[in-house]
Structure 1
Amino acid sequence: MSERANRSTDRASADGSGGATVVMSQKIRPGHEGDYQRWQEKTNQVARTFDGFEGTELYPPGPGEENEWVAVFRFSRIDQLTAWLNSSTRQNLLGEGGALFEEAPKQEVLSGGKKTRDAVSAVISHDVRIGREKEFVQWEEKITEAQREFAGFMGSELFRPVEGIQENWVVVSRFDTRDHLDDWLDSELRGKLLEEGRQYFSAYEVRKVGSAFSAWFTFGEETPEGVPPNWKQAMTVLLALYPTVMVLNLTVGRVLTSEGVVGYLALFIGNVLSVSILTWLLMPLVNKALAFWLEPKRSQSVRGQVAGAAVVVLGYVALIAVFGLTAG
């Protein structure tokens, strides 16, 4: 029998507390992925100028999935998220990127709820039939109870419609890994429950959302929301990754080459060592040194943001200079 998750299920209201999130799915025309990523980064930069902006994430399609990209924007309050969604600036951006999409982008607005790290989520939007709302909620509780019997289940949240913004009912189910999430989504039990639930909703859509580097950015249980935005994660990982790869190439790499180890095997050994060094040695040290910049609660001022980014860039310069002199 699958292990039972010991996390409680949460029910989120639409009162605007606990932050606000919009999950946008966008099917990109084949061959336009690069253009889309540039457009999305421009959109991200504009969103950062709006009051209440907390972070954004972009998730490319997984292997074998449709060319559907998922963008997540997080704001402090629902009114601040609404201001961004309805702004003329964003409408102009959507018009500018329209040629990149196979169809109009779809979105789910989540008001309230808990922030979670180190989880893979399924964001499921339901078009609930009029007058069947109470029965839908009862059915969704059965879904939650069924999920508890599956390995890796971390909890679920039900988000009611937000008047004037979001008509659908949205459920977010969280699992610890993508494999565990897929086990539930593809299970025979879920298939049977879906057939039962079709009398309560006319249509539904599933989107998977997960974080790329979150396991390397944990600041303790006292800050459950303490995962920095992706651009900070990428900058910090590069700061630790570059010297790791250089040192390994100059030491272990040369030894393996001299011993006649074939290239693909030497590369695998180097990757194992670099990931291990990053996970258990360098990333904890770098996180501690840059905590003033990485932890959301401690990096709100513009001065703090600029100072942290400057420290990282100076670190890049110093490392390049050091390896330029020693490895050149």
Structure 2
Amino acid sequence: MNDDSTQLREAYVPQPATAIASHLVRPEMADEYIEAQTAITEAARMSPGFVGTEVLSPIPDLQGEWVAIFRLESNLAMKRWLESPERARLAARIEACLSEPSHMLLLASDDNAEPPVAVVFTHRVAKDKEEAYLAWRRKVIAAQAHYPGYLATEFFRPHGIQNEWVDIVRYDNVDDLNHWMESKEREALLKELDPIVESMHAHRVTGLEGWFALNRGAAATVRVPPSWKQMLSVLFALYPTVMVLNFLTPLWHTLPFPQQMLIGNILSCALLTYLVMPRVSQFLNFWLTAPVRDWKNEALGVGAVLAGLALFVFIFQSI
């Protein structure tokens, strides 16, 4: 079986910060709590630097509290969100629903630290082999844990139209990851996997999808907006980028036309990838990653793009 793993590495940027809040909700206030928690979640999505959020409901005999997890792109973004008047107002609504004060744990990262690396696999498990696959995974995790730099293994069961298991293995750095990936022990474990799975493939983020990786850092799956939203978002970013570069063309206008176009394309691609699209994606995040289609939200997103393009046209006509 081919080992079609994909190694993922975050860019050298400030690392995400995480806030974990636990809430012991009074039974008679459950509906009010859910309403307040939904409101604070939506407000967090609009906060600059938002990365992702998740709310976990209580589990009988195991977890008695609600748990809300918020991730922002940096320590500074998290600090601004926690100190914002909007969050304070909504947090007060949540506190009114609790039988005891909420507990919060902040997980901040050193912005100067090298980000971790991950390798992502998808496995199509053979029929009636799920228990064997789970036993194999437990064996692999036990082996990985003995290698330097191992951080965690996460997995996602098949659901809906996705009929493959997704495994994400995280290591502290590239060297430690390679040590495990190239080990004889892992090679032997892959041979044990052969009769259990029908295929093992990699999910690669290519093309425009990389511009829309809005969610949750290296350990999260990529949520890609519909193609028509990608098209409008790229247009929203591309038009002002090309117009700005058009004003710079006199710097190389003496070159032959093909070379002028090459320079322009290199600059526009670099600006879009590293500067413009990340900010456009954050600005339109409320619309691009909306979990439930709502006509008001859709209209607001499309309206924001059209209004922005009209503003750009007005500005460039005035120059």
Do they fold alike, i.e. is TM over 0.5? no
TM-score normalised by L of structure 1: 0.42
Which structure is larger by alpha-carbon Rg, 1 or 2? Answer: 2
